[in-house]
Every structure is written in C-alpha cells, then in structure tokens.
Amino acid sequence: MAERWRPETHTFHLPEGEMTITLKDVAILTGMPISGDAVIGPQTKPEGGWGPLIRDRLGFDMPTTTPIQGRGHPPLNAGQVSVPWLVSHIQQEVVINDETPEEQVERYARIYLIGLVGGFLFPDKSNRWIQGIWLELLTGDWDAIGQKSWGSAVLAGLYRELCTCSKVGAKQAGAAMFILQLWVWEHLPMFAPADPRPYRRNDDELNFLQNLPYGVK
C-alpha cells in the first residue's frame, strides 16, 4: 500500500482508481473524535525542561542518567520519554484499590494516556520514545483533553508517514499503521484474514460489541 501512495494527492493509486482513508473511516473504525479543538502542542520546552513538569503533574522523577553505566539512553533524554521505562514503572508501582486517593488514580490515568497517545497513536519508528509534547498536552485540564479532535490529528500523522515511507529507500514506518491495516481489511477484503472465530457469537458477546468501535468488531 505504501508503494501505491501518492504524496501529491494523499491517495492510493489502484487499478480500479484512487482511494484514500477519510476522517469518516477513522471515526467509524476507531471511535476517536474528528471534531473539536485542534491538537496543537508547544514548540519549545517549558522552563526548566520536562523533568519539573513530570514531577509536578505525574508525581515522580525520571532519571536523566543511563540505568547501566555506558549503555543505552536515560529514561528522560533530549525531550523524549522512554516507553519501556514508563511501562515498567506502571507495572511495578501502580496498585489501585478502593483506598487509593483520587489524585493518585488521576496521575496513573495520565501516565496511561501518555503511553497510549505517544506510544500507540503517534509512535516513532523505534516505538521506544514518546515526544515531550504529549507530556504537556496530556497533563492539563481533563475536559480540554477530551474536547480535542484526536482522530484528525492521527489521520494527519498517518498521511505524513505514508508520504515519508513511500519514498525510495524507506525501510520503516511510524504513525498509527493499525488504522491503515483495518482500512485495508474493510475496503480490500481480498487482503483480510479469515475470521479467527467463525462460530456464531453468543448474546453476551454481541451485547458487549454493540457499543464498541467497528474496528474492534
């Protein structure tokens, strides 16, 4: 599909004609909002860097030195946050029960959102680093986060990455490629896998799937 993508028109050139992924496709397949405020982040680091922001809004410090002397990169490096470190931090330290303070639950929810948005919806090619821009966007007002047009931003990122990986010599791709995969399965069924569960779903499963995005089904 990347080889058939034309950067000039943002469409796939197929034998039957041109096709492209639309905002409507993103909304139906993922359930993400496609209207609302634009997803716009800061162009520069906050005063003091990202460390104080993380400490103030997420409640912990991120090391700025390598875990193993002389090997790898520090978890907080050049405005980027390590995905593996963030995941391991959540797995090791997050325990939520009825007695957990609401402030603590909110912090854990923000960490999850940062990992989801920065590592799944807008991943880099290595899928190991989250850009610092998401820290400021996802640690602000809850209502403001929910009012943003995330579907539009994800589609724009997918378009840009398809333009990049369609060039000669490109070997990797970032962005939310799972949307392209779902879109291909829906519109070009000859590429779709066979139903892994061909049996008839029971009523409980059907009720559970009813209110989920089409891509989940």
| Average model confidence (pLDDT) across the chain | 81
Concatenated DSSP letters for the chain?
-GGGEETTTTEEEETTEEE---HHHHHHHH----SSB-----SSPPTT-HHHHHHHHHSSPPP-S-SBTTBS--SEETTEEEHHHHHHHHHHH----TTS-HHHHHHHHHHHHHHHIIIIIS--TTS-EEETHHHHHTTS-HHHHHTB-HHHHHHHHHHHHHHHHTSTT-----S-HHHHHHHHHHH-GGGSPPPS--SPP-HHHHHHHHTS-TTT-
What pLDDT sits at residue 106? 82
Q: What does each C-alpha distance from 82 to 55, 72, 79, 126 come to in angstroms?
A: 16, 11, 10, 11
- Residues 21 and 179: their CA atoms lie apart, in Å, by 9
Distance CA 45, CA 78 (A): 10
What is the structure's pLDDT at 95?
A: 74
pLDDT in tens, 126-137: 777 787 777 778
Report pLDDT digits (tens) over 30-62.
Answer: 999 999 999 987 767 667 666 777 777 777 676
pLDDT score recorded for residue 201: 67
Q: What is the pLDDT of residues 152-172, one digit of tens each?
A: 999 999 999 999 988 888 888
Torsion of CA 86, 91, 92, 98, to 10 degrees: 120
Q: What pLDDT does 80 receive? A: 76
Q: Binning pLDDT at 50, 70 and 90, where does residue 69 land?
A: very low
- Residue 139 CA to residue 107 CA, distance in Å, equals 9
The pLDDT value given to residue 43: 67
Q: How many CA atoms does the CB half-sphere of 36 hold within 13 Å?
A: 17
Q: Answer yes or no: are the C-beta atoms of 131 and 174 closer than 8 Å.
A: no
pLDDT tens digits for 168-217? 888 888 889 999 999 999 999 888 887 655 556 677 777 777 788 888 87
| Confidence (pLDDT) at 199 | 54
Q: What angle do CA 113, 210, 216 make, to 5 degrees?
A: 50
Question: Do residues 39 and 148 touch, judged by C-beta distance below 8 A?
Answer: yes
Sorting pLDDT into bands at 50, 70 and 90, what band is 67?
low
Q: Is the pLDDT of residue 115 over 90?
A: no
Question: Do residues 138 and 113 make contact, with C-beta atoms less than 8 angstroms apart?
Answer: yes
Residue 120's pLDDT is: 86
pTM of the model: 0.81
